[in-house]
Amino acid sequence: MIRVLHVIDHLGLGGAQAAVLDLVRNCDPVQIECEVATMHGRGSFAQAIEQAGIPVHSLSAKRWPPSYLWSFVKLIQGGRYDILHFHLQGANWIAKPLAAALGYGVRISHDHASGDIRFRGVASLLPDALAHFASQRIIAVSDGVRDFLTRWEGICTDRVRVISNGIDTEVFQPANPEDRQRTRKTWGILGQQFTVGSMGRLAPEKNFQLLISLAGKLPDVQFLIAGEGPERPALEALIQAAEIGDRVRLLGQVDDRVAFYSALDAFVLPSLYEGLPMALLEAMAMGLPCVSSDLPDIFSALRGGEAGLLCHPDDPQCFVDAISQIAYNKDLARDFGIAARGRCLSAFSASTSAAAIEEIYRSELLFARGQGH
């Protein structure tokens, strides 16, 4: 049995948190024993992880490094973990070097971020690159993220393994008519009104202001945005100024993601830059027709437009045309939904991703014991 501790900054709403949940739920329980440590607080994903039978450790009630560093040391001293698997910047920059300095475990970095320097910022390059010296292996969620690490941070290609995010397609699957009607009623959607949704942190890179612009050009379409973040006041002001009533609704944090997708007719992702977003993959697994920004890793995920419609994030008319095509052509919407689901089943299965990561655990443990590589 391989004992694995996943360490992540927090377990609030986010794509990395969703990825960790799907990973620990799909690891082979006979071979892998998982636990999760959140550096501060708990968050909405903590309960879901615990419901899967996975212990969750909160290292600190608040975001206060001296507190959670001491808690982390005590946890890894007593846990006898074989693998320490780190997610997001705080865990990779702070907890991982500390574990390395103390000589604990095989250390795996998991890079969930975008492969775009505009998103990461130049200031992140040095601390990220230095922290990677404390990693025996780095997992990148896409080719774009791997290329970023090798180009901008000087990481050797043979230290990086690309493993796509995986979706639990038994959990995320097309809604039946009863569930669809129930969830639409929950969100106050009237009748058969065509409803488009998006999900993510309310931050500039998500480009949610575009959806407000689209609502002014698509008067028959309802837009729902799930998520919280620093851009909420600005988005609320834009909605009020646009005089579009409640046709763009900010739902706040939505814990039941399956219910949210079940209420939608289509999913739209207008981001300025992304890696391989979990929200898009979840929507694909739900069989929703998707309209997304034409970004490198998304282009690959949607097979260049075969499994969804692609638009440049600076081209609102393209988004208007794409949503209109789906809204007024049920056959086209159905075909894109089937293609999206099929693509997710073939390329983004959580069980396949978990199996690939388990193989990394075994390989790195053998190497650490002088028996591999």
Is 177-347 a CATH 3.40.630.30 domain? no
Which pairing describes strands 290-293 and 160-162: parallel, antiparallel, or unpaired?
unpaired
Same fold for the pair 2-166+349-368 and 177-347: yes
DSSP per position, 337-372: HHHHHHHHHHH-BHHHHHHHHHHHHHHHHHHHTTS-
Q: d(Cα 50, Cα 44) in Å, to the nearest integer?
A: 11
Per residue of the chain (373 residues), give pLDDT as tens. 999 999 999 998 888 999 999 999 999 999 999 999 999 888 889 999 999 999 999 998 887 777 788 899 999 998 899 999 999 998 999 999 999 999 988 999 999 987 777 777 788 888 888 998 999 999 999 999 999 999 999 999 999 999 999 999 999 999 999 999 999 988 888 778 999 999 999 999 999 999 999 999 999 999 999 999 999 999 999 999 988 888 999 999 998 999 999 999 999 999 998 888 999 999 999 999 999 999 989 999 999 999 999 999 999 999 999 999 999 999 999 999 999 999 999 999 999 999 999 999 999 988 887 765 5
Would you say 292 and 302 are in contact if contact means Cβ atoms under 8 Å apart?
A: yes
Structural domain 2-166+349-368, CATH architecture = 3-Layer(aba) Sandwich (3.40)
Q: Is 347 exposed, middle or buried (0-12, 13-18, 19+ CB in 10 A)?
A: middle
Contact 207, 293 (CB under 8 A): yes
Spell out a b/e string for 105-120, using b for 16 or more CB atoms within 10 Å of the CB, else e.
bbbbbbbbbbbbeebb
* Ramachandran angles phi, psi of 172, nearest 5°: -95, 100
Domain spans of the chain, in order of start: 2-166+349-368, 177-347
